[in-house]
């Protein structure tokens, strides 16, 4: 039940059903604790952190949940889980305007993902580092690395995120034709996948360039 609710929350999040995603993740955590299986509790805490941070619902709790999940994964020897939980924590820190404090967390997430060969985790951590960097050149480099990692992992929706963020960076440089091309690619992927949350972001970005 905990695992099913974790997966349901992720689908709801991608559909843009933010409050439902947070509720499902909270229910997953309750079920995981009832099961007395620490690996399920760690996963549910990590998922709840990701949903709360992404939905901007109780972001301070999201930061704490991400840290707790990372610590629990570490105690279980699950390096990939620990890295992904730290990425969720970093996202929550970014949502609560703690971008500078989140950079070391993202760097640790990346190091863990590289240590265990988690390509998805690497892509997510690189994207988090890019978002928090004030240098546009560094953002472009990190986001391109994120895109490469997600391509290698075969994770299409995160490729949309990387393309959209690249488009946003090129718009900041005034390279609007390139920005529109990349943002349209991101919007097309999100539209085909039914990812309404991402699609809204890319349409907004298109309106600005």
pLDDT of residue 96: 87
pLDDT of residue 189: 94
Residue of 207, 203, 107, 106 whose CA lies nearest to 164? 203
pLDDT of residue 197: 85
Residue of 10, 5, 12, 8 whose CA lies nearest to 40? 5
> How many other β-carbons are positioned within 10 Å of the β-carbon of residue 26?
18
Q: Are 167 and 179 in contact (CB under 8 A)?
A: yes
Please indicate, yes or no, whether the overall pTM of this predicted structure exceeds 0.75: yes
Question: In sequence order, what DSSP letters do the residues of the chain get, joined into one string?
Answer: -HHHHHHHHHHHHHHT-HHHHHHHHHHHHHHHHHHT-HHHHHHHHHHHHHHHHHHTSSHHHHHHHHHHHHHHHHHHT-HHHHHHHHHHHHHHHHHTT-HHHHHHHHHHHHHHHHHHT-HHHHHHHHHHHHHT-S-HHHHHHHHHHHHHHHHHHT-HHHHHHHHHHHHHHHHHTT-HHHHHHHHHHHHHHHHHHT-HHHHHHHHHHHHH-
pLDDT of residue 68: 98
pLDDT of residue 97: 85
Residue of 129, 153, 151, 152 whose CA lies nearest to 141? 129
Q: Please give the average pLDDT of every successive group of 10 residues along the chain, which has 209 residues.
A: 97 93 98 97 98 94 97 98 97 88 95 97 95 91 97 92 95 96 96 90 92
Instruction: Give residue 120's Cα distance to chain centre.
Output: 10
């Amino acid at each position: 039940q905990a695992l099913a609710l974790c997966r349901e929350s992720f689908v709801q999040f991608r559909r843009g059903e933010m409050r439902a995603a947070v509720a499902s993740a909270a229910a997953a955590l309750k079920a995981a604790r009832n099961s007395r299986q620490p690996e399920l509790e760690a996963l549910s805490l990590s998922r709840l952190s990701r949903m709360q941070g992404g939905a901007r619902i109780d972001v301070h709790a999201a930061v704490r949940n991400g840290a707790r999940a990372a610590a629990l994964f570490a105690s279980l020897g699950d390096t990939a889980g620990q890295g992904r939980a730290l990425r969720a924590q970093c996202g929550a820190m970014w949502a609560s305007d703690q971008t500078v404090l989140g950079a070391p967390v993202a760097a640790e997430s990346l190091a863990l993902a590289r240590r265990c060969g988690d390509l998805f985790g690497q892509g997510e951590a690189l994207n988090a580092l890019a978002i928090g960097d004030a240098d546009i050149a560094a953002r472009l480099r990190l986001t391109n690395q994120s895109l490469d990692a997600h391509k290698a992992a075969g994770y299409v929706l995160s490729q949309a995120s990387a393309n959209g963020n690249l488009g946003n960076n090129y718009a900041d440089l005034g390279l609007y034709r390139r920005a529109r091309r990349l943002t349209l690619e991101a919007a097309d992927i999100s539209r085909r996948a039914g990812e309404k949350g991402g699609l809204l972001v890319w349409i907004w970005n298109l309106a600005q360039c």
